[in-house]
Amino acid sequence: MIDLTQLIEQANELAPLPASTVRLAGLIGNPDCHLDDVTELIVFDQALTLKLLRAANSAASASLVRVANVREAVTRMGTAQVLALAVAAGAKRFLQTRLPEYDLDEGVLWRHSVAAAVAAETMQACGSVESPPETFTAALLHDVGKLVMARFLSPEILGFIRRAREVDHLGQLETESLLLGANHAELGGLIAQHWNLPPRVVQGIIYHHNPGEGQDVICDLTYLANQLAKRIEAGLDGRYFDLSILPEVAQRLALTPKTLDNLCPIAAARYTQVSRRYNAV
Amino acid sequence: MNTADFDYVRNFIRDQSAIVLEPGKEYLVESRLQTLARKENLSSIDVLVSKLRSDSSNGLHRKVVDAMTTNETSFFRDIHPFEALRKFLLPELAARRAQQRQLNFWCGAASTGQEPFSVLMLIAEHFPDLLAWDIKFIATDLCGEALARARCGRFNQLEVNRGLPASLLVKYFVRQGADWEFREDLRQRVDFRELNLIKDWLCLPSPDIVFLRNVLIYFDVETKKSILAKIRRLLRPGGYLLLGGAETTFNVDDAFERAVFEKSTFYRLKQA
């Protein structure tokens, strides 16, 4: 077991997200959110404005017409993606970190996070499921807890984790809970709370491995985005092994095996394009 | 950890708590005892085990048992049993005991208190009249350290994030620094006691509902039989037993039958 007080303290010591991003998250989570309010909030933050315009004009927009102002950018990309890009701009430097404790080289966690956000967007774009506007952000940040958890994974603890997985065939999450008393998903939820992100983002992150316990569709969607991201990456480098999708999640989201099979190549094709937006922030 | 030390620890744990640690679980014993060794300022697990072997009066044995118990729990764990309580069991029991206005609950593996507090919140939310009844709520556990925390009713942010809806957090908890404290008026309704399930169960009132989730999985068949037999004798007529999702009375004690309420299964004694 590790010292949970220390773990919580370290999660709460991560540098905060910019105030405008936090306000944007609150605004977009509100069902009465109006495009003008979003635009007004963004234009007051010059750095965010520049990043969003750069993202909107990246190759992903697939348009010859340049986006000249924030309103056009928000209209073109949609508020949910604007929020995810704003959060990405704040979290990018953390997510690009190398985490050898999780066998993640520099940039790999970022790439996986972006792939999950793109997968979430694809599900929405294909009309497969109706997503809450916080979904892309939850997908983007689903593994953010690994950043802090990694600091507590001494070689000794990593040895115990490896043996637990070999002997009892436990998954990463169960092993962390059993041996450390907390897991990276819970810790990610804590970081999202520390960053004052909306409760649904927190829920999506906490339950991205066990969505049935989350009692909210965003948990199923974040889980699915993570699994689709692994499939996208498997196509890129064969890195992940567990690519299955829980039948109960497919059932709750009314997704047939055929729809799921179709989603993956579409998400993979979009990844190359849309990831440029995230890389541009 | 060498084989002799592992065997010594697992035999000792089995004698004290009936928890079965199969060969291969060395990683679990080492990871738990490593933490304890550090707390006790002992240089290694070897030193800890040798201290255990040499002196049984230093309190270390008790700490080792505590360290080896799994205290994993959460608020409204698995949610469905709580739905069943709300929709079916509590209305049924409340109707049956309306004349006496008296109900008894027993959580047999209460850990740090999330389960009894969840039941209390459910009662306060949906059956507030029951709070005026004579309700005996006993919550027991083998781990003294966990019970000490349960009595304080204090939880960190990670713990309240596990299963507790925000609306209930703000209604039933008070912020204390970085932690959250369960409301004292409700907390005091729970009588937390240390109890080893394989020893005598002294002074337990006959419960209407026994919560014993994810406990039997750690025991061998004979211990399971013995515990279920004791519950059978203790349970109030018409009472229910709740086990964990991976546990059953089937082929262990056939005096019980399943009582399915939507997505959750409780057990009750078969009618004679």
A186 touches B: beta carbon within 8 Å: yes
Contacts 24+ apart (CB under 8 A), A254-259: A254/A129, A255/A128, A255/A129, A255/A224, A259/A128
Cα–chain-centroid distance for residue B137? 13
Which of B26, B41, B68 lies at the terminal end of a domain, its last residue? B68
Render pLDDT for B227-250 as a digit per residue (tens, 0 to 9).
999 999 999 999 999 999 999 999
Pick from B68-72, B104-108, B173-177: least confident: B68-72
Evaluate if residue A107 carries a pLDDT over 70: yes
Residue A35 domain-assigned (yes or no): no
> B194 has which bridge partners?
B141
Query: What does the alpha-carbon distance between residue B83 and residue B105 come to, in Å, rounded to a whole number?
Result: 17
Same structural domain for residues B211 and B121? Answer: yes
Q: What is the DSSP letter of B59?
A: S
Q: What is the spatial order of strands in the sheet that B256-261 belongs to?
A: B190-194, B134-141, B102-107, B209-212, B240-243, B264-269, B256-261
Q: Which residue has the higher pLDDT, A30 or A161?
A: A161
Evaluate if residue A239 carries a pLDDT over 80: no
Q: How far is A264 from chain B (nearest CA, A)?
A: 31
Same structural domain for residues B60 and B140? Answer: no
Residue B169 domain-assigned (yes or no): no
Which residue of A157, A178, A186 is in closest CB contact with B158? A186
Same structural domain for residues B90 and B209? Answer: yes
Distances (CA, A) of B86 to B110, B126, B241, B259: 20, 7, 15, 15
Q: For A52-76, b where at least 16 C-beta lie within 10 A, e where not — what string? A: bbbbbbbebbeeeeebeebbebbee
Same structural domain for residues B87 and B148? Answer: yes
End-to-end Cα separation, chain B, in angstroms = 52
A121 touches B: beta carbon within 8 Å: no
Percent of chain A with pLDDT over 70: 95
For residue B211, the enclosing domain spans 80-153+186-269
Same structural domain for residues B119 and B87? Answer: yes
Amino acid at the residue B180: W
Evaluate if residue A62 carries a pLDDT over 60: no
Kindly provide the ipTM of the predicted complex, given to two decimals. Answer: 0.87
For residue A248, the enclosing domain spans 4-15+80-275
Per-residue pLDDT at A63: 61
Amino acid at the residue B251: N
Number of domains in chain B: 2
B56: tokens are 């049984």
Evaluate if residue B191 carries a pLDDT over 90: yes
What is the mean pLDDT of the segment spanning A39-48?
Answer: 93
Residue B142 domain-assigned (yes or no): yes
Residue A23 domain-assigned (yes or no): no
A49: tokens are 């404005």
- Locate the chain A residue with the closest alpha carbon to B77: A213
Residue A74 domain-assigned (yes or no): no
Measured between beta carbons, the chain A residues lying within 8 angstroms of B78 are 213
Q: Are B239 and B209 in contact (CB under 8 A)?
A: yes
Same structural domain for residues B101 and B145? Answer: yes
Q: Given pLDDT bands bounded at 50, 70 and 90, which one contains residue A167? A: very high
Which of B39, B68, B97 lies at the terminal end of a domain, its last residue? B68
Helix (H) / strand (E) containing B149: helix B144-152
Look up the pTM and report it.
0.91
Same structural domain for residues B85 and B58? Answer: no
Measured between beta carbons, the chain B residues lying within 8 angstroms of A214 are none
Tokens 């099979």 locate to A261
Render pLDDT for B42-84 as a digit per residue (tens, 0 to 9).
999 999 999 999 987 778 999 999 999 988 899 999 999 999 9
Q: Are B215 and B240 in contact (CB under 8 A)?
A: no
Residue A179 domain-assigned (yes or no): yes
Residue B174 domain-assigned (yes or no): no
Residue A63 domain-assigned (yes or no): no
Q: What is the spatial order of strands in the sheet that B179-182 belongs to?
A: B154-155, B179-182, B173-176
Size of interface A-B (CB pairs under 8 A): 51
Residue A150 domain-assigned (yes or no): yes
As a whole number, the mean pLDDT across chain B is 95
Same structural domain for residues B114 and B20? Answer: no
Task: Name the A residues in 5-24 with CB < 8 Å from any B CB.
Answer: 5, 7-8, 12
Q: Are A114 and A103 in contact (CB under 8 A)?
A: no
Q: Say which CATH number the domain at B104 has.
A: 3.40.50.150
Residue B115 domain-assigned (yes or no): yes
- Locate the chain B residue with the closest alpha carbon to A7: B158
Q: Say which CATH number the domain at B42 has.
A: 1.10.155
Per-residue pLDDT at A64: 65
Residue B32 domain-assigned (yes or no): yes
The 3-state DSSP class for residue B139 equals: strand
Residue B177 domain-assigned (yes or no): no
Which of B68, B102, B118 lies at the terminal end of a domain, its last residue? B68
Residue B171 domain-assigned (yes or no): no
Number of domains in chain A: 1
- Locate the chain B residue with the closest alpha carbon to A185: B158
Residue A229 domain-assigned (yes or no): yes
Amino acid at the residue B64: V
Nearest one of A24, A151, A39, A51 to A99, comparing CA atoms: A151
Q: How far is B55 from chain A (nearest CA, A)?
A: 26
Residue A46 domain-assigned (yes or no): no
**Do A179 and B31 lie within an 8 Å CB cutoff?**
yes
Helix (H) / strand (E) containing B134: strand B134-141
Same structural domain for residues B8 and B126? Answer: no
Measured between beta carbons, the chain A residues lying within 8 angstroms of B158 are 4, 7-8, 182, 186-187, 190
Same structural domain for residues B128 and B250? Answer: yes
The helix-helix angle for A257-280 and A46-56 (nearest 10°) equals: 130
Q: How far is B183 from chain A (nearest CA, A)?
A: 22
Q: Given pLDDT bands bounded at 50, 70 and 90, which one contains residue A65? A: confident
Residue B73 domain-assigned (yes or no): no
Q: Say which CATH number the domain at A99 has.
A: 1.10.3210.10
Same structural domain for residues B145 and B89? Answer: yes
Evaluate if residue A229 carries a pLDDT over 90: yes
Same structural domain for residues B148 and B252? Answer: yes
